[in-house]
Amino acid sequence: MKKVLFIIGSLRAKSFNRQLADVAEQLLAGRVEVERLDISDVPLVNQDKEFPAPEAVDRIRKAVSETHALWIFTPEYNGSYPGMVKNALDWLSRPLVAGDYATPTCIAGKVVAISGAGGKAATAGSCAKLTELLTFIRAEVLESQTGVVIAPESWATDVLTLSDEQREALRQQAEALIAKIEK
C-alpha cells in the first residue's frame, strides 16, 4: 500500500489544519497508509550542526524517504507559511552527505499536496509561497490545492466545520494525489 506523510503546520492541539488533516485522512482511509510527521522538535537549521545531522532531522529525512507523497496542511501567518514548516523543508532540502551537492535530497522528486484552513484569503498566500519553495527544492507540487475559509462560528468553538463544497474540494484533491502516486 502506498504511503502519504502529513505535515501539519500548526502545533496547536485544536488546530484547524490538524482538523482539516483529519478529514483528509478519512477520505484516504483504506486506499493509502497515512502517517503524520512530527516536526515540533526539529532544531533550527544550522550548518555548524548539519553533520552529523541532529536526531530529529535524521528521523524526518527517513520518514520522507520512505513515503510516496507528502500532504502539507498549512495555516497562514502574516501572508505566508509558518516558520517551523520552512525550517523542516530547509532541512529536507539539504545534502545527506557532507559536501555532496550532486546527489538527490530526500524531498527532491516527492509528490506534495498543499491544503490550508485560515481567514478570508483561504491560505492563498501561504499556499502560493509554499508552492514556490517546494518547486525550488525540486519537489513535485500537485496543481490541485484546497484553501478553506474558516467559518466565523469555528473561531469561537475551535471546531472546523466544512461546507459541502469545501469537503468536495478536499475529496477531489485526495483523488488527484492518489492518482498521481499510483502511476
Q: What is the DSSP string of 81-92?
A: --HHHHHHHHHH
Mean pLDDT of 79-101: 93
Nearest one of 68, 88, 106 to 11, comparing CA atoms: 88
pLDDT in tens, 130-158: 999 999 999 999 999 999 999 999 999 99
Q: What is the pLDDT of residue 98?
A: 84
Domains and CATH numbers, the chain: 3-181 (3.40.50.360)
Count of other CB atoms within 10 angstroms of residue 135: 12
Instruction: Dump pLDDT digits (tens) for 34-43.
Output: 999 999 999 9
Reading across the β-sheet that carries 140-149, which strands appear in turn?
Answer: 33-37, 3-8, 69-73, 111-118, 140-149
